[in-house]
Amino acid sequence: MNRDQIEGKWTEIKGKLRETYGELSDDEIEEAKGDREQLEGKLQQKTGKTKEQIRATVDDILAKI
């Protein structure tokens, strides 16, 4: 999914992120709006998971949308 597609489906993506990562605040999700690398960085900081784990989860979320 490219940046334009992510931005276009941002509301759906945001909802899935909230379901998966409850520890991530709405503000943190909005800060990353459409920027996958920034989003993955925030998730990595919050969860302590590896970049690969976060990327796999984000890929899974995007594939479902």
User: What's the pLDDT tens digit per position in 34-58?
Assistant: 788 888 998 999 899 999 999 999 8
pLDDT at position 24, please?
A: 83
**Among 45, 3, 23, residue whose Cα is nearest residue 13:** 3
Domain containing residue 38: 3-64
> Is there a contact between 63 and 16 (Cβ–Cβ < 8 Å)?
no
More confident: 15 or 1? 15
Q: Which residues contact 60 (CB under 8 A, 6 or more apart)?
A: none
Q: Model's pTM, two decimal places?
A: 0.76
| Domain count within the chain | 1
Query: Between the CA of residue 5 and those of 10, 32, 39, what are the distances in Å?
Result: 8, 14, 15
- The domain that contains 37 carries what CATH number? 1.10.1470.10
CA distance 52 to 65: 20
Q: What is the pLDDT of residue 36?
A: 83
